[in-house]
Amino acid sequence: MKVAVVGATGLVGSVMLKVLAERNFPVTELIPVASPKSAGKEIDFKGKKYKVVTVDEAIKMKPDVALFSAGGSTSLEQAPRFVAAGTTVIDNSSAWRMDPTKKLVVPEVNAHVLTASDKIIANPNCSTIQMVVVLEPLHKKYGIKRVVVSTYQSVTGTGVNAVNQLMNERKGITGPMAYAYPIDLNVIPQIDVFQDNGYTKEEMKMILETKKIMGDNSIAVTATTVRIPVMGGHSESVNIEFEKDFDIAEVRKILEQEPGIIVTDDPANAKYPMPMDAHEKDEVFVGRIRRDESLPKTLNLWIVADNLRKGAATNAVQIAEYLVQKGLL
């Protein structure tokens, strides 16, 4: 299979290449794509060198599938051009997520909605992906009424400039700022720009995308998204109100049996998921599973996942794997 990775030299693009190799995706020809300034550079994939090409060159090569991680404006402009050349695009930006004509997919939740006619498939926001993987099996069993989520998001979600800012601050070096404020020894309760309703764009993504992926507009969602000085993954404190009551042991069992979820929940021995545990792993980790004693039929959870992998690259590759498996590519 001829596979293009658009944004191959970026943070998520480089992880996409790593995930494709690790999961033995059937790549017969790799086409790494980046901006003209990166064209001509060489990248290594499974021991072979591949030359980075421009979008125009890549389109001429007619890839079967293109994994995009090059920003919204690039996706809006270039994804239709790839589609016109017969390529299926899986896009990691926010460009197509809320387009009613495009599917927004987390394979564990709603891969079944995909058909051969879906030529641009949207990869959801990183913080939404890890949450819905956990919500879906519980929604099937108990019916979710309302979700309250607060996130603790890694600097890697912003990109390499944010990682550099954090590392520079740790070393006392003055350098370019990815954020309006210092991030080391600080917490920034703003991710993306504020909207008219006082929520940030990231918060609204979580609210709207959850309903779309789970195919249920009746689920009420409210979110507060926060950037913290960590790497390795995003963490989320999630409070879920159900239609039906639940048994904690049964909740644990449901989650333990779900593919793609690892339950780490042993308070007696201080075992719970942390970003350092999720780093470079594809699973979603869940712990601190307990009843909310202030409300009936309500549960508290702590969810952690590597935002560059399950929150971006791995989810995109899993979508491609599903398309191959079902003969849709």
pLDDT in tens, 227-239: 999 999 999 999 9
pLDDT grade, residue 246 (50/70/90)? very high
Question: Which domain does 151 fall in, by range?
Answer: 127-307
How many whole angstroms separate alpha carbon 29 and alpha carbon 51? 12
pLDDT average, residue stretch 162-188: 98
Residues 133 and 32 in one domain: no
pLDDT grade, residue 9 (50/70/90)? very high
Whichever domain contains 291, its CATH number is 3.30.360.10
CA 67 to chain CA centroid, Å, is: 13
How many whole angstroms separate alpha carbon 314 and alpha carbon 322? 12
Which pLDDT value is given to residue 51?
97
Residues 6 and 84 in one domain: yes
pLDDT average, residue stretch 64-82: 96
Which pLDDT value is given to residue 96?
98
Spatial neighbors of 84 by CB under 8 A, at least 6 apart, are: none
Q: State pTM to two decimals.
A: 0.97
What are the residue numbers of the active site? 126, 234
Residues 113 and 207 in one domain: no
Which pLDDT value is given to residue 58?
98
216 SS3 class? coil
Whichever domain contains 81, its CATH number is 3.40.50.720
